[in-house]
Amino acid sequence: MKKCKIVATIGPSSIDRIEDLIKAGVDIFRLNFSHADHETHRKSIKKIRSAAKKVDANIAILQDISGPKIRIGEIDGILELKKGDKITLTKKEPKNRFELNISYPDIIDQLNIGEFVFFADGSIRTKVVEKQNEALVLEVKNSGVLSSRKGMNFPNSDIKISAITPKDVKDLEFGAKNGVDIVAVSFVNGAEDIRKARNIVREHGSNAWIAAKIETKKALENLHSILEASDAVMVARGDLGIEVGIEMVPVLQKKIIKEANRMKKPVITATQMLLSMVNSPYPTRAEVSDVANAVLDGTDAVMLSDETTVGKYPIKAVDVLKKVIIQTQNIYPYYKRYETKDIDAIASGVADLCRALEPRAVVSFTSSGTTVKSIAKYRPKTPIIAVTHSKETSRKLAAVWGVERVLEIPKIKNHQKLIEKFTLAARNEGILKKGDKIIVTMGSMIGKEGTTNMIRVLEI
């Protein structure tokens, strides 16, 4: 079984192949709210839940909200630019093709002479050379073309704008009401952005995990506090590479994953993992190495975007990811060591017992998933089986490294009866057999979050 999880983004290439994708190895489906309307996403959620139930799979749904992606306005056709050309960002109505509106015009006031403005994922790079009343003049630094609605980045500017836009508020309400399991917040700058998103989903009855997408310089500066406020994190390598320079992405990926592992926050590594498979049935060797290195870095999950939204080979892309993950596990550095405290002392002890006893599985009885995340932090080689009475917790744990199965059983107050109920379910499903040795974690107060205080070594 693979210990690192797979995220696939839903799109035209995958919406009618969800069952096949689950069978190929997908654990989490991502809905990109930068595209499609609520009705389309509602239908996708229904199809995912139906397919998961049909094949008896524990599948999570991740809602990726748009955030304040700043874009240029409409352009008539294609705007060809040469090095040295001047273009103007204006709050007023454009007078010619070289004057552009932007989606957040107040940003014009926040930019200063000498700062850079990138367009279209960095393919057009410009520098602010003149600041006028309600306008900025930019000098083009490389030749290229621009078309309508292309994105913008400000790599050396301190832009103050909320990560939660009015559209995001509506999207968060929709996600909460339709039962998404994880919400990814785009363009996070600080912990307050995470708290704001959490408050919105809680107000609408959802306990979804809130994941911070790390893709800005400000997010890197505030990484520790953002992780503290989040339930999970995504290394969003696309915009991050534009913000800091692509040469920094491998180093920052390792730093973010290491810190997320230490703080037991599930981490997803995203963007261009197998991009060539959009049009090719085979990946490049560099892409395979990239996936393997993300696994070795300690990521909980790897994510496909274009490969499964518009790609020609979505099933094959997932299959490649699964094969690379399984092969890489052969040299994975299991049994991590950290300074321990509180519940982590239990989890660290579990990892030590796994190394010494080599049990068939670690079985963690959990209400919220906290103990399971703690155990996964230490990366035991032994498979982790989570047991919970909560459907919500069950699906969220699809994002946690090493969790190979999740069993849902009714809440039972008696410890021995709870273990007996699990044992019966595990044997019926062929997960365990007579004579298997397992390590069990559970709390003296069954069903109460954060009360795990017991480790037991049992034989089935």
Could you tell me whether strands 135-140 and 124-132 are parallel, antiparallel, or unpaired per DSSP bridges? antiparallel
Q: How many residues in the chain?
A: 460
Q: Which of 342, 391, 393, 390 is nearest to 372 (CA)?
A: 393
- Taking every pair of C-alpha atoms in the chain, what is the biggest distance, in angstroms? 80
Taking residue 9's Cβ as centre, other Cβ atoms within 10 Å add up to: 25
Report phi then psi at 132, rounded to 5: -110, 180
Q: At what angle do helices 343-357 and 370-377 cross, to 10 degrees?
A: 50
42 is catalytic: no
Structure tokens at 424: 């019966």
Question: If residue 338 lies in a helix (H) or strand (E), which one and from where to where?
Answer: none
30 is catalytic: yes
Question: Measured in whole angstroms, how far is the alpha carbon of residue 270 from the centre of its chain?
Answer: 7
What amino acid occupies position 137? V
Question: If residue 201 lies in a helix (H) or strand (E), which one and from where to where?
Answer: helix 191-203
| Cβ-Cβ contacts under 8 Å for 391 (sequence gap 6 or more) | 408
Q: Which one of 9, 90, 271, 441 is the catalytic residue?
A: 271
Cα–Cα distance for residue pair 9/459, rounded to 1 Å: 41
Q: Which one of 125, 198, 213, 218 is the catalytic residue?
A: 213
Structure tokens at 98: 């070289």
**What residues pair up with 30 in beta bridges, in sequence order?**
9, 62
Q: Which one of 2, 30, 198, 218 is the catalytic residue?
A: 30
271 is catalytic: yes
Q: CA angle 138-139-140, nearest 5°?
A: 115
Cα–Cα distance for residue pair 219/196, rounded to 1 Å: 16
Cα–Cα distance for residue pair 329/325, rounded to 1 Å: 6
Q: Which one of 71, 97, 131, 355 is the catalytic residue?
A: 71
Q: Which residues are catalytic?
A: 30, 71, 213, 271
